[in-house]
């Protein structure tokens, strides 16, 4: 199939030359002697470096990703016949000159830290690389903490200028203290109010257990669903048995969020006990971030821990408002882990770094694609959005989903990938159907040969192989969005194949990050969720963080210089 498709491309291209694609390994990330670890913050100098020219000969816009596409050089091939662009876009990756410039720039930015002693066992992080403007006392302080953390045999310290974490609080800080914990316990319930997936409850347990083990009194607050006022079916009462089981203690439940009765329950709490407040969204003031409501909620506690990554992109009373009245306000373990992977590991990855972006519409992933083009070496696109890219190249897409008002945008994104030196791959073949239904008639065709009346619903086998070959060259991968309509078994093969490939690579030490949404459902469906390096619990929050946006619930937390000991 691939040879036939390449022959078609040659017949169409005429005398224009093509370029093979270079995939360069960018300096950075953990030492080769260490397993991939999610660095919490990247070097500042790793961002926004102008791309160097990839060749003196102007390349045509697209090339067919043959095995020679994975060479560590960029060179023109011999001329071949024709004018129509291939449906598979592949743009040149960073040349050696750009690699050297990035490495030199990163080294220069890290110099003040090395002089402060960080090189003795601490991996520099972007937020610490404030170069000549750095406060030398802060640099020395961080270096001291790194050396202390590295003193234990078999560990190395990773310095992070990030949000203060619950792990920074000791028994002296927590014993006898009332701690308001904003968790994301928004779990699905069936018609009988039974929990059908307790993933989010289990994700909140480490933070709660840490607080309890240090003698704190935990006051849990969360939302469930989108209630309009007090709605019994959205009560948090069904969560109490599972919480109690996982924590190994009897969790108490309040019938309200604020008020005299809640205050009495809090006053009666003993050290090491947990009180679950009612659904915080029963109050409209929650989503309005009403300061009076936030003040009343905050008055129940002495300090605040935000462990609800799924709502961190919302400036609500229980995520952002309470931080104005409670100090310290720190990140829980789950929130910190999400930031380490979705911000740290993505912004300063072990390279080569690949991003896989799928989904039905370009419009819903514009920000993610643009942000990832600044960071990744390889970008693989799948899902319904690919047909907008095909049509932008002048290809027939039959009755496939197309956003007509995004054709110009698709063209600009392809041009941006080329300018940035990112190898961007579109599927070369697709599985098409005569209707949008699980029992539709289907066939596999080249992406350039979709007939009228048919629609693309999955990527084809040649594309799966090409994508997998590209992923084999990487050390860090993030995936956001399915490759096809994976809800229909007949059109789930592409998505499931990618999930299995990531699981295989994860076992080999590649950092694999599942960036929330349908991608999470896909890896869970295939049964490989436990193998991935990290699975994000956020939907909208994951997307906004990947887009490079600030999350109000994170911005509001206390800053802190931290070190993490990593086993080697």
Q: Which residues pair with 512 in a beta bridge?
A: 477
Q: Which residues contact 50 (CB under 8 A, 6 or more apart)?
A: none
Characterize the bridge pairing of strands 178-182 and 303-306: parallel
Closest CA to 351 of 66, 15, 1, 39: 39
Q: Which residues of 503-513 are buried (b: 16+ CB within 10 A; e: fewer)?
A: bbbbeeebbbb
Torsion, CA 493, CA 494, CA 498, CA 503, rounded to 10: 0
d(CA 188, CA 166): 27
Closest CA to 553 of 286, 275, 374: 286
310, HSE (Cβ side, Cα atoms, 13 Å): 22
Find the length of the chain. Answer: 568
Q: Which residues contact 174 (CB under 8 A, 6 or more apart)?
A: 211, 214, 215, 216
In 13-141, beta strands by DSSP E? 122-123
Closest CA to 396 of 422, 362, 432: 432
For residue 99, is it left (φ>0), alpha (ψ between -120 and 50) or beta? alpha
Name the residue with tokens 């506690």.
Answer: 301
Residue 172 to residues 266, 275, 279: CA-CA distances in angstroms? 20, 22, 31
281, HSE (Cβ side, Cα atoms, 13 Å): 20
d(CA 178, CA 217): 5
Q: What is the DSSP string of 402-462?
A: --GGGHHHHHHHHHHHHHHT-EEE--SEEEEESSSSTT--EEEEETT-PPTT-EEEEE-HH
Q: Which residues pair with 430 in a beta bridge?
A: 445, 459
| Secondary structure element (H or E) that encloses residue 182, with its range | strand 178-182
Characterize the bridge pairing of strands 329-331 and 217-221: unpaired
Say if residue 328 is preceded by a cis peptide, omega within 30 of 0: yes
The catalytic residue positions are 200, 361, 517, 540
Contact 534, 514 (CB under 8 A): yes
**Apex 383 CA angle, 377 and 384, nearest 5:** 125
């Amino acid at each position: 199939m691939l040879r036939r498709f390449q022959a078609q491309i040659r017949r169409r291209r005429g005398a224009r030359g093509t370029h093979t694609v270079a995939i360069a390994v960018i300096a950075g990330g953990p030492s080769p002697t260490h397993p991939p670890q999610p660095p919490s913050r990247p070097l500042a100098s790793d961002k926004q470096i102008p791309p160097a020219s990839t060749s003196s000969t102007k390349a045509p816009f697209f090339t067919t990703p043959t095995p020679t596409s994975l060479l560590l050089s960029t060179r023109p091939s011999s001329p071949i016949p024709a004018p129509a662009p291939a449906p598979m876009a592949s743009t040149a990756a960073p040349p050696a000159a750009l690699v050297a410039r990035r490495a030199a720039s990163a080294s220069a930015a890290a110099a003040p830290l090395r002089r402060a002693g960080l090189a003795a066992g601490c991996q520099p992080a972007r937020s610490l690389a404030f170069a000549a403007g750095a406060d030398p006392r802060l640099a020395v302080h961080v270096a001291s903490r790194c050396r202390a953390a590295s003193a234990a045999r078999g560990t190395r310290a990773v310095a992070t200028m990030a949000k203060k974490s619950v792990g920074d609080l000791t028994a002296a800080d927590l014993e006898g203290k009332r701690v308001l914990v904003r968790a994301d316990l928004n779990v699905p319930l069936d018609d009988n109010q039974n929990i059908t997936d307790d993933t989010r409850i289990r994700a909140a347990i480490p933070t709660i257990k840490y607080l309890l083990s240090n003698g704190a009194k935990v006051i849990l607050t969360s939302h469930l669903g989108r209630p309009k006022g007090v709605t019994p079916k959205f009560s948090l009462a069904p969560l109490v048995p599972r919480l109690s089981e996982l924590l190994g203690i009897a969790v108490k439940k309040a019938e309200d969020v604020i008020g005299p009765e809640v205050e009495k329950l809090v006053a009666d709490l003993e050290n090491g006990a947990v009180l679950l407040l009612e659904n915080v969204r029963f109050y409209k003031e929650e989503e309005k971030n009403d300061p009076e409501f936030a003040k009343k909620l905050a008055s129940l506690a002495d300090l605040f821990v935000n462990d609800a990554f799924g709502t961190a992109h919302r400036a609500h009373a229980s995520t952002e408002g309470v931080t104005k009245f409670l100090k310290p306000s720190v990140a829980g373990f789950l929130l910190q882990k999400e930031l380490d992977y979705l911000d740290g590991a993505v912004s300063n990855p072990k390279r080569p770094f690949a991003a896989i972006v799928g989904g039905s519409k370009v419009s819903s992933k514009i920000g993610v694609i643009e942000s990832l083009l600044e960071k990744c070496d390889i970008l693989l696109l799948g899902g319904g959005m690919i047909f907008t890219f095909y049509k932008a190249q002048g290809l027939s897409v039959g009755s496939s989903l197309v956003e007509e008002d995004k054709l110009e945008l698709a063209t600009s994104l392809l041009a941006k990938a080329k300018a940035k030196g990112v190898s961007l791959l579109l599927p070369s073949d697709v599985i098409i159907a005569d209707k949008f239904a699980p029992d539709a008639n289907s066939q596999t065709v080249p992406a350039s040969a979709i007939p009228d009346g048919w629609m693309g619903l999955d990527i084809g086998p040649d594309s799966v192989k090409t994508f997998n070959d590209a992923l084999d060259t990487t050390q860090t991968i993030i995936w956001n969005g399915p490759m096809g309509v994976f809800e229909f078994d007949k059109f789930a093969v592409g998505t499931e194949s990618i999930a299995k490939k990531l699981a295989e690579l994860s076992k080999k030490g590649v950092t694999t990050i599942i960036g929330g949404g349908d991608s999470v459902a896909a890896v869970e469906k295939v049964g490989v969720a436990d193998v991935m390096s990290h699975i994000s619990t956020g939907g909208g929050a994951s997307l906004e963080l990947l887009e490079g946006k600030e999350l109000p619930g994170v911005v509001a937390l206390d800053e802190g210089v931290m070190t993490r000991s990593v086993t080697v």
